[in-house]
Structure formats: C-alpha cells, structure tokens
Amino acid sequence: MAARRVVVFPSSAELGPVLAQLVTSRAEKAITGRGRFTLGLSGGSLVSMLSKELLALPDPDCSKWVVGFCDERLVPFDDPESTYGLYKSHLFSKVNIPDSGILTINSSLPVNECAEDYTRKLKEVFPDDDFPVFDLLLLGMGPDGHTCSLFPEHPLLEETEKIVAPISDSPKPPPQRVTMTLPVVNSARCVAFVSTGGSKAPVLKEVLEGREGPAFPAARVVPTNGELFWLVDDPAAASLTIQVERPGSGAKL
C-alpha cells in the first residue's frame, strides 16, 4: 500500500500544470513499459482544468491512450450533464486519441444493461485482470465526500464483485448513472484526487484527518499497490493540520 501524498498549491492555476505533468509522466511510463496508457476520467471542474492544461502542452501525443470514465450519467452525449460529451468538446476533438481508445457508455440502454455493457467493454480492454488495472484514475470529491458515483451510506460502497455498477437513486441529479466500484478504483496503479475551493475544506479535513473518515467514500480510496495523490489548493486545505507538501514552481510528481 503506497503512501498518500497530499500536495497543496496556492490556487488551481498552479495546480493545473502539475496535474498535466502527472498525466503525461504516467503516460510515458506506461507506454514505455506496456505499450499503452489507460486513463480513467471524472467530470465536474476537472474537465476544463485538465483539457486546458493538456492542450497547453506542445503537441501532446495521445495516440496510445485508452480512456474510460470513472462514472457517467445516463444521459445523451449532447446533454450538458454528459461527462463524455464535455470531454469530447473540450479535449478529445483536439488531440489524437483514436476513437477506438475512448470507452463510452451506451446511453440508450436501461441503467442495469448500460452497466453490464460498460463492464463488457472494460473486460475487452483488460482481459487478463479480475478488476481493470488503470495506469491512472483522476477523481474528484463532492462536498459530501462522494467520489465517482459512490455516495455516503450507499450499498454500492460494499460491492466486491462488480466492475461497473448501476445506480438509479443518486442523491445528486441526474439519478441514473453507472460507476466504477471501489475494487476497480483501488486496483489502479495511480489515483489522483483533485479538490479545490473553500467549500471542500470541511470534508477534506474529515476525509484526510477525521476519525469518521472511512464513512466518506473518498476516504475508502486506498490503492492496494498504487500511488495515491491528493492535489488541492489552499482554500480546500485551509483546515488541514497534517503535514503536506508545498512544491515550488515547476514541480513534478
């Protein structure tokens, strides 16, 4: 179990380039070692930050990337709630990730069948693994401590067999979603949370320091054999008392 690294930046403007560097460095390592880079993406504010910073790099080569989604809302791709739709317009249409390397849900299916279909797609990409082993998963965290579409006190937190699970009662709309399960998240070679803004400060303290931490889904992300980063800005870290890293400009992870 790798050590957790909590890395604090003055603002999201300083965090963004280091996030892009983390992605590209893990991509280079994976492609050198295994011939491809498998990346799991989350939505929310991460879409614009990651897209902006990757596109700021000189000619990013994404031709050997395979991209999946840590969770997805069961809406059409042209719906503003679609995580894939947002990444397509912000990033995928501007880089050379092959269409075959982008694993999307079939949003026309009922939620249970959608989860089964996405499971099948992941198994095709990871045929030798009981649970897919992504090179890097990028996660966010809600003010309630949820991550992916794994919400506090929800039965899905106890799922041990499914790769992708359906959820029809998400407390955050839209209610129907599919989500990677904790065994998949904790199988990754590297997991990086990105958490910014003062609204995250109370729950971030609980997740990283509190005795009630395990009650929060984000606190249950502990990669078995992988790296774990928390990349946060000063407003989100305002209540922390644990030791953190504060890298200078040009820092690399």
- CA 1 to CA 5: how far, in whole Å? 12
* 253 part of a folded domain: no
Q: Which domain holds residue 208?
A: 4-226
Q: Look at residue 3 in the predicted model and tell me its pLDDT.
A: 78
Say which CATH number the domain at 174 has. Answer: 3.40.50.1360
Looking at the predicted structure, is the pLDDT value of residue 250 above 90? Answer: no
* 241 part of a folded domain: no
* 248 part of a folded domain: no
- Supply the pTM of this predicted model: 0.96
Confidence of residue 1 (pLDDT cuts 50, 70, 90): low
pLDDT tens digits for range 101-152: 999 999 999 999 999 999 999 999 999 989 999 999 999 999 999 999 999 9
* 199 part of a folded domain: yes
Domain count, the chain: 1
Instruction: Quote the tokens at residue 47.
Output: 């879409």
- CA 129 to CA 225: how far, in whole Å? 14
* 88 part of a folded domain: yes
- CA 126 to CA 98: how far, in whole Å? 18
Confidence of residue 21 (pLDDT cuts 50, 70, 90): very high
Looking at the predicted structure, is the pLDDT value of residue 38 above 90? Answer: yes
Edge-first strand order for the sheet with 190-195 is 4-9, 227-233, 190-195, 136-139, 37-41, 65-69
When the pLDDT of each residue in the chain is averaged and rounded to a whole number, the result is 94
Burial degree of 102 (CB within 10 A; 0-12, 13-18, 19+):
middle
Mean pLDDT computed over 69-73? 98
* 142 part of a folded domain: yes
Confidence of residue 182 (pLDDT cuts 50, 70, 90): very high
* 234 part of a folded domain: no
Looking at the predicted structure, is the pLDDT value of residue 2 above 70? Answer: no
Q: Given its phi and psi angles, is residue 148 left (phi above 0), alpha (psi -120 to 50 degrees) or beta?
A: left
Alpha-carbon dihedral sign for residues 235, 157, 72, 40? positive
* 235 part of a folded domain: no
